[in-house]
Amino acid sequence: MSVSEAALTAALATVLDPHTGQPYTAGRQLKNLRVGADGAVAFDIELGYPARSQFPVVREALAAAAKSVAGVGDVAIEVTSKVVAHQVQRGVALLPGVANVIAVSSGKGGVGKSTTAVNLALALSAEGARVGLLDADIYGPSLPLMMGIEGRPESEDGKTMQPLHNHGVKVMSIGFLVDAEQAVVWRGPMATQALDQLLRQTTWGELDYLVIDMPPGTGDIQLTLSQRVPLTGAVIVTTPQDIALLDAKKGLNMFEKVGVPILGIVENMAVHVCTNCGHVEHIFGADGGKRMAAQYGVAYLGALPLTMAIREQTDSGTPTVVAEPDGEVAGLYKAVARQVAVVVAGKAKDFSAKFPTINISKTT
């Protein structure tokens, strides 16, 4: 019995991606569909976001759908991910080789923004993406400690720097260039210039995502970054506490004013579970981030717990996603990262690389 290709594609279209709500076959993700005379079927599925841990589940669901069609025998499915560049603010050129830049921001300090940024970057890397991490907190760089990296960047040409790396992620921070206990006593313009150099004079290579750990607040450095760095979008980190939400809303409004899309809100330290008795307590309030997301009509990326393990693992230079990759909390970070990647994948693509460069020459 010959297999109807139309019936096969219709069956495959019934399998929905739980992260996008769309069929896996939508948007030209179905490629190289082949049907053999013996009923053997083979095809490729190309996801627009990194999801290496999800590949077996995707394969299983699509294989079951294919085998529901009369005449189908063996099914071979290749699932891959391809991350492309997406649009940024108008008038801001993309960084060479860097497809998407994600700012992780908070209105105030102490809400776990850096911890979230680090685990977000590590989770994207764990799902198969090429990831870089930039420490934009000039006055309080913490990523060298969090990522367990020591040393200074090397320069092959005297003009650019090689990023340091650990846990599969490339990292750059002012903390690599100054002593750990030395205070950076610079005025705003000097700090902004230093940050611009860290960003643009680092040879990042080819990256799917560059995650920027923003300094807290909405001052000169934050505003300059938002206006001059090609940001695909921003992730806002807050605790459920009213005072944290008040400042988080200011940060969100800053990004909106300069045309940077908000990818979503992460509610950190949302709940504490006692390690001794299992008592659940909302120390900083409940669902504040969820209410904020609903108020502004942006994605609620998820809630993260307040646990001693997260602090201990981060302080030791092995953040949760790499310390306990199969643990419950690492799973939460990975779920947040996947949602961020899915939101990015849904943004309009950048086509500037497809346009030819126009050179104007003077003729006589």
Residues placed in the known binding site: 107-114
Angle at 153 between CA 152 and CA 158, to 5 degrees: 125
Q: Decide the pairing of beta strands 207-213 and 131-135.
A: parallel
Cα separation, 69 vs 158, in Å, equals: 62
Residue 195 burial (C-beta neighbours within 10 Å; 0-12, 13-18, 19+)? buried
Whether the CB-CB separation of 237 and 112 falls below 8 Å is answered with yes
What residues are designated binding site for ATP? 107-114
User: Alpha helix locations (H) across the chain?
Assistant: 5-12, 55-67, 113-126, 143-146, 188-200, 220-228, 242-257, 288-296, 308-315, 320-323, 328-345
Whether the CB-CB separation of 105 and 229 falls below 8 Å is answered with no
The secondary structure of residue 22, as a DSSP letter, is: S
- A 10 A CB-CB count for 93 gives 9
> CA distances (Å), 98 to each of 33, 129, 173, 222, in order?
31, 12, 17, 20
Whether the CB-CB separation of 315 and 50 falls below 8 Å is answered with no
Residue type, 223: L
Tokens found for residue 262: 């908000």
By C-alpha distance, which of 339, 266, 304, 320 is closest to 122? 320
Residue 322 burial (C-beta neighbours within 10 Å; 0-12, 13-18, 19+)? buried
Cα separation, 84 vs 328, in Å, equals: 30
Tokens found for residue 269: 């330290």
Tokens found for residue 109: 């300090």
Residue type, 221: I
